[in-house]
Amino acid sequence: MTRKIKSRHRSVWAFSLSVAALSASGLLAVSQPSQAQSLSCVSADSRANASGGFTIPGNCTQYFGNGATFPGLFYRRFADYFGIAIPANTGGQTGAVGTQPTTPTGSPRANTVQYNYCLTGSGNGRAVFVGTASASATCSYTASFSGGIVTPGNGTAAPAVFPTTSTANPPLFAGSDVPLSSSELSSYAANRQGSRGLPIQVPTVFGAVALAYNNNLTSTLSLSTSDLCGIFDGSLTDWSQIQGTGGLSGPINVIIRSDSSGTTNIFTSYLAAACGSGYYLSGGVNTFPTGLPQTARFVRVAGNDGIVNTVASTSFAVGYAEASFTAPFSTNTPSGQPAPRSALVQNPASGGGFVAPVVSTIRSSLGSVALQATNSSYPCVLQVNPSSLPVLPTNPAAYPIVGATYALLYSRYPSADQADAARGLFLNILGNAPFGRLGANDQVAQGLGFVVLTTGSTIQQRNDLRAQARACVSAITSP
């Protein structure tokens, strides 16, 4: 179930997640938080009152995360499978992920802890994590906007509020598509390290930045590298200038992000590399530049959800968003419109053609993935080695705009409950791939067009890499 959050700055989305013991489905078995829970946490999710709403029982433990919108739908779907999202449908049933028709074998739908992930953007996620911004927000529930996984309850619920209005008691975890910088690590040392221990940064999934376009534009859109560069520097202004649009004519309305965004960083890094030395971008940026032609054709909105909402409702529009927010991975936008399609994008590698953002082409973009700690003082601040994920792919079969997203965690939490909750969620997400079948985490990821942390051609290579990230998560402790 998704939640629409009203903050002082904009509407963002959140959803409920739950941890379960998943050893039978190929994930690590983990202990549940020790705080006593009631089965009312489960039963409340499957009931709606006469007005279509519901109330979360007071004895349910809720934890909050915030940050990157890029991995948001993956985190939500993972919880839909391994716990009862809020609100769940009356029968508590899930739909299909890929070829898996029901809940994966051995993954009980336990609901002892609810994780509420608020999609505030990567920049806010990092700032909250290092203690330079507040995470205060109010999250209210709305019906699910993605089809095929969970039939949501309808209506809304009483608001759920972040457990703090200050920077002193932050959410349980944060998400970012951009690794922590040296200045952010310095802020962390000053603001957090004394009480929360060393920071942990681990990659969770790889995903694609799709070029979402209004469904009334054309049934299939292919964008060359020169098309892409011209659209996003403002030099191409009409669809008649784009080859392969069948004589279509109309203003190109360009939808870009207004907030500090990891998705923007991934996308602008690609533009800077693909469009040549004379292009206005020399590298990736978190906030889209303001030096572009500021006409009505360039519209700035916050979040991946804001991008697809606006593209869907704006004639002749195109924008960039994580592929999971587009068709066929989502059937509707957060505002209830049909989800926009994704364009085929030209691979600039020699012999590369026009490629769709799907699991196989994301995998093709990955080299021999390796993790590295770039600061010896922070051995668990891990990031994907840049050579593992080249900005310009060398494989002609690769989708060209792919990035990793990171979970930001503390190595020490104030209570055992919080430590168990943080450790358990991400040990499950980074669980081993079993031999002979897809693990449940990989099923959920692939159903949305994501790839869980992976490398090489063998399951053992994949599991060795995940074990490196899990070692940092396993070390989470409490006083």
In order of 7, 194, 243, 380, the CA distances from 342 in angstroms are 30, 46, 17, 36
The pLDDT assigned to 100 comes to 30
pLDDT in tens, the chain (479 residues): 333 333 333 333 333 333 333 333 333 333 222 222 223 343 333 333 333 333 444 445 667 788 898 998 888 677 655 544 333 322 222 232 222 333 433 443 444 566 667 778 899 899 999 999 876 554 433 333 232 222 222 222 333 445 554 566 678 899 999 999 999 999 999 999 999 999 999 999 999 999 999 998 888 999 999 999 999 999 999 999 998 787 789 999 999 999 889 999 999 999 999 998 889 988 899 998 887 766 678 999 988 989 999 999 999 999 999 999 999 988 888 778 899 999 999 998 877 799 999 999 999 999 889 999 989 999 999 999 988 888 998 899 999 999 999 999 999 999 998 898 888 888 888 988 877 777 778 888 888 899 999 988 888 998 999 999 999 999 999 98
Please report the pLDDT score of residue 293 as a whole number: 66
pLDDT at 30: 30
CATH code for the structural domain at 208-363: 3.40.190.10
Residue-level pLDDT at 66: 84
pLDDT for 3: 34
Give domain limits for the chain: 208-363
Token code pair at residue 122: 């990567």
The predicted structure's pLDDT at residue 214: 95
The rounded distance, in Å, linking the Cα atoms of 205 and 454 is 8
Enter the pTM of the model.
0.81
> What backbone phi and psi angles, to 5 degrees, belong to 381?
-90, 90
Q: Burial-class residue 194 by CB neighbours within 10 Å (0-12, 13-18, 19+).
A: exposed
Amino acid at position 154, single letter = N
Angstrom distances, CA of residue 197 to CA of 155, 188, 217, 475: 41, 10, 52, 11
